Chains A and B, each alone.
Chain A
């Protein structure tokens, strides 16, 4: 089991290294970092000082190492816009994003999984068809389109809900719903096919033939086996959540990290962009790590073996 952890941890570390390298390479390739970060109007002395401070006159691999060191130490630069440290700017926005993403994730799970499972158990019923149609809409309709349609209906036409800003909890309703729809669709479709595949397995027939009431068969055999792929794909959803937050927050003018990212990109506020990128990477790596561990725990085949390659 220890080896399992170690290998996963090693992979996680490698991903972080890759992301930092990616940021470094992109930063260097896009031009003189001093000019980019300080802006074209900065006085020449400031540029020279910046170069020295960042070690830009050193050979490239020393630059890389000190860059790496700085990142690990938490020094991520200053935002160009208001001189605040990038990292504090980002940290300020985290609660706002969490207020959207966490309920959205819960909503996705609550809507997606049960409807998918139910559809699998009642194939070709009206519910099944609705679920499948809904799932299809979920992944073909871009989230911003869905959001705008919701705004069109609920804000503009019926005036029920506000369409932007973060003043009250009512403002959060439309963003959360918009964020959850795509993922709910994917989860429903996925849970349905996972469940269908399991229902068709020989051991299901065996369990039923043994005389177990069908309800118990489902609960004790189908669900635990279905849990494995569903957990894995939920892990994937963390990535889409973050991406979804970017679009939805911009659409609804919700002051979270996603919106900050978009604004920073438009303003070429590279310190902030870099900071968000690394934070997202860290989040992805942690969530993948957790999913791997959960997976190893849930799948008894992995629990009993050494890590296999």
Chain B
């Protein structure tokens, strides 16, 4: 199964220190607490979780936009260079980020054509004429017209803006795209279009993707594999259809039960009790135990390990036995 992975993260930990005032006590917040995952070339890994689960931070760690407190990220067999170093900057041509808010990600004073071509400018790809042609091709490949190159971001709709961001992200033909909630700010009807676009781009260009979202329906559509995160840890990781057909971890089960299937009413929906996750106040043992209806004494005390429970499937739950135990 492990063909040479495009990107691998091992035991990533990211701790933030928040301090009240100049002399206040410092609280350590573990946004990401021991995450191990990988993305194979030309596949999509969906990363799902609520806010506070650490999924956005994980995305940023994957790209090297933040330095992990512990653990490391390997891209194409080599460790991630330090943030903002020359090597890191050059690596940007191979890995890109698609943002949640396309309007914020674009400079409102510059026409979109120029912005799409900016990575070509930065990495000095091709001559001026070649870049212009490239920009036109890119615009077309994301479903925009060539003559829109002179428009400004605020003149476009939300969906069109996101297409511009995507066009810019694939300008240098990257190997990896990290999409952080790319459709959350869009209307539902437009969401489907953008998701389809991303899928098409993956097929035609062989781009690997890490797709971060809180919306299971969207993730299901586009991912080959899915990793479910809770309070900074991955609680289950499996092929997309396995997770949706037969979720093993109680948290995944609750999430999956809330995804409506068109044509039928929502049945057997599991509603979680308790407080939403707060990374600054992490429960002992298994982080999910206060909300889990199946929690045992062991769950309160001992942190479950993230182990293989079936072929091609991993989970972190005391109630899901590891594969070797079967």
Q: Which partner residue on chain B sits nearest A308 by CB separation?
A: B21
B20 interface hit (Cβ, 8 Å): yes
Which residue of B is nearest A309, CB measured? Answer: B21
- Residues of A with C-beta under 8 A to B23: 3
> What is the CB-to-nearest-CB distance from B26 to chain A, in angstroms, rounded to a whole number?
14
Chain B residue nearest to A10 (CB atoms) is B22
Interface positions of B from 10 to 45, Cβ below 8 Å from A: 20-24
Write out the residue numbers on chain B whose beta carbons fall within 8 Å of the beta carbon of A7.
21-22
Q: Measured between alpha carbons, how far is A98 from B23 in the docked complex, in Å?
A: 40
Chain A proximity mask over B244-268: 1 for CB below 8 Å, otherwise 0? 0000000000000000000000000
- Complex CA gap A7/B24 in Å reads 12
B73 CB to nearest chain A CB (Å)? 32
A27 at the interface (CB under 8 A from B): no
Let me know if B22 and A306 touch, CB within 8 A. Answer: no
Quick check: is A307 within 8 A (CB to CB) of the other chain? yes
In the complex formed, the residue of A with least CB distance to B19 is: A309
B contact residues around A309 at 8 Å (CB): 21-22
Q: List chain B residues, Cβ under 8 A from A308.
A: 21
Q: Which residues of B contact A306 (CB under 8 A)?
A: 20-21, 24
Q: Which residues of A contact B21 (CB under 8 A)?
A: 3, 7, 306-309
Q: Which A residues from 179 to 231 make CB contacts under 8 A with B?
A: none
A side interface size, CB within 8 A: 6
Q: Which residue of B lies closest to A307 (CB)?
A: B21
Give every chain B residue within 8 A of A307 (Cβ-Cβ).
Answer: 21-22
Which A97-152 residues have a C-beta within 8 angstroms of B?
A: none
For B20, the chain A residues whose CB sits under 8 A away are 306
Quick one: CB contact mask for B135-161 with A, threshold 8 Å, 1 for yes?
000000000000000000000000000
Measured between C-beta atoms, what is the minimum distance from B316 to chain A in Å?
A: 38
In whole angstroms, how far apart are the Cα atoms of A7 and B22 in the complex?
9
Distance between A156 CB and nearest chain B CB, rounded to angstroms: 57
Q: How far is the CA of A216 from the CA of B199 in the complex (A)?
A: 65
Chain A residues within 8 Å of B22, by CB: 7, 307, 309
Residues of B near A3 (CB, < 8 A) are 21, 23
Nearest CB in chain B to that of A306: its residue: B21
**B23 — nearest CB in chain A belongs to which residue?**
A3
Q: Given the complex of chains A and B, what is the CA–CA distance between A11 and B24 in angstroms?
A: 17
Interface string of A1-24 (1 = CB under 8 A from B): 001000100000000000000000
Query: A306 CA to B24 CA in the complex, in Å?
Result: 10
Q: How far is the CB of A34 from the nearest CB of chain B, in Å?
A: 42
Cα–Cα, bound, A7→B21 (Å): 10
Q: Closest Cβ of chain B: how far from A262's Cβ, in Å?
A: 41
The distance in angstroms between the C-alpha atoms of A308 and B24, with both chains bound, is 10
**Using Cβ atoms and an 8 Å threshold, which residues of chain A touch B24?**
306
**How far apart sit A3 and B24, CA to CA, in the bound complex (Å)?**
10
Proximity bits, A254-285, B CB within 8 Å = 1, else 0: 00000000000000000000000000000000
Q: Min CB distance, A304 to chain B, in Å? A: 15
Chain A residues 59 to 74 lying within 8 A of chain B, measured CB to CB, are none
A309 to B18, CA, bound (A): 12
Query: When chains A and B are docked, how far (Å) is the Cα of A3 from the Cα of B23?
Result: 8
A7 CA / B23 CA spacing, docked (Å):
10
C-alpha spacing A306/B20, complex, angstroms: 9
- The smallest beta-carbon distance between B214 and chain A, in angstroms, is 30
Measured CA separation A308–B23 after assembly (Å):
11
Give the distance in Å from the alpha carbon of A3 to the alpha carbon of B20 in the complex.
12
- Cα–Cα, bound, A307→B22 (Å): 9
Kindly state the separation between the CA atoms of A3 and B21 in the bound complex, as whole angstroms. Answer: 9
CA distance A306 to B21 in the complex (A): 8
Q: How far is the CA of A309 from the CA of B22 in the complex (A)?
A: 8
CB B78 to nearest CB in A, in angstroms, measures 40
The answer for the CA separation of A118 and B62 in the assembled complex, in Å, is 61
A125→B23 CA distance, assembly (Å): 52
Q: Which single residue of chain A is at the shortest CB-CB distance from B24?
A: A306
Q: What's the nearest-Cβ distance from chain B to residue A238, in Å?
A: 27
Complex Cα distance A308/B21, Å? 6
Q: Which residue of B lies closest to A4 (CB)?
A: B21
How far in angstroms is the closest Cβ of chain B from A5? 13
A308 to B19, CA, bound (A): 11
B268 to chain A, nearest CB (A): 46
Complex Cα spacing A309 to B21, Å: 6
A1-57 at interface with B (beta carbon < 8 Å): 3, 7
Whole-angstrom distance from the CB of A53 to the nearest CB of chain B? 40
* A309 and B24 alpha carbons, distance in the complex (Å): 11
CB distance from B24 to the nearest CB of A (A): 8
Which chain B residues (229-246) contact chain A, with CB distance < 8 Å? none
**Nearest Cβ in chain A — how far from B218, in angstroms?**
38
Nearest CB of chain B from residue A63's CB, rounded to whole Å = 31
Closest to A7 in B: B22
Min CB distance, B5 to chain A, in Å?
43
In the complex, A306 Cα to B25 Cα: how many Å? 13
How distant is A168 from chain B, measured CB to nearest CB, in Å? 53
Interface bits B116-130 vs A (CB < 8 Å: 1, else 0): 000000000000000
Q: A3-B21, A7-B21 are in contact. List 10 more A-B contacts (CB 8 A).
A: A3-B23, A7-B22, A306-B20, A306-B21, A306-B24, A307-B21, A307-B22, A308-B21, A309-B21, A309-B22
The 4 lowest CB-CB distance pairs between A and B, nearest first, are A307-B21, A309-B21, A306-B21, A309-B22
Q: List 12 A-B contacts (CB under 8 A).
A: A3-B21, A3-B23, A7-B21, A7-B22, A306-B20, A306-B21, A306-B24, A307-B21, A307-B22, A308-B21, A309-B21, A309-B22
